[in-house]
Amino acid sequence: MNLNGKNAIVTGGSIGIGTSLALGLAKAGANVALNYRRHADEANAVVAEIKKMGRKGLAVKADVASFEEAQAMVKKVVEEFGSVDILICNAGINRDAVIWKMSEEQWDQVLGTNLKGYFNYIRAVAPLFREQKHGRIINITSINGLRGKFGQSNYSASKAGIIGLTKTVARELGSSHVTVNAVAPGMIMTDMAKQLEQKWIDAATAETVLGKLGEPEDVANLVVFLASDAAGHITGQVISVDGGQYI
């Protein structure tokens, strides 16, 4: 896939799947900006890798849950790169608890980051994309937004909300030649996932039909495709990357 000359934003690009997304876009030719809230060293390390590929890289401290900080980041990226062509909404958190024990704070934190955070960045780029008559928006959701997950009512609700947001914005921006799609990973073997108890890894693996869990690069490969011209007639879709974990 060729993304030469394209400018991308990846939220949550300093760690986990987000790092693979940022590096995958850069490898395909894109300049990449990413935000961070706490992981400054990690964000700067990702930017350094992007620059080694001969691309422009930018790390911006911004809380995705803040409408104003999202607006400011997009403005800064336009100032630095000249434009924005691709938005990857990826930043997310989890605060797990069964519904009868979940606090209001746990609910609000997850919905504020995982769902409102996506709105904030989509809202920030939408006027630009409409004006330039092109753009790619790719939202990272989860199979748990499709099926629900015990102990994750807040997380699953946020990820289901992202699917509804994706389909609606695809309708709203379609006339401006902007595609909007969602990618729904199953369990992916990030550094965080590798720290889980083995019984949880084994349980997730047993759910797959391929008998293995995905790697961050599996998600990045699909995101790069959806960001490219090759995916120009695909919009409003939710594509799972889960080895058949949820069929």
Which residues participate in catalysis according to the annotation? Answer: 155
Question: Do the strands 178-185 and 57-61 form a parallel or antiparallel pair, or are they unpaired?
Answer: unpaired
Cβ contacts of 179 within 8 Å, gap of 6 or more: 135, 136, 137, 170, 226, 231, 232, 234, 235
Question: Tokens in use for 142?
Answer: 């989860």
The alpha helices in 115-143, defined as continuous H runs, are 116-132
CA distance 1 to 219: 14
**DSSP bridge partners of 151:** none
CA distance 177 to 140: 21
Classified as helix, coil or strand, 142 is coil
- Cβ-based neighbour number of residue 166 at 10 Å: 24
Q: Nearest to residue 89, comparing CAs of 156, 161, 41, 39? A: 161
Question: Tokens in use for 150?
Answer: 């015990």
Q: Which residue has the tokens 């590798």?
A: 194
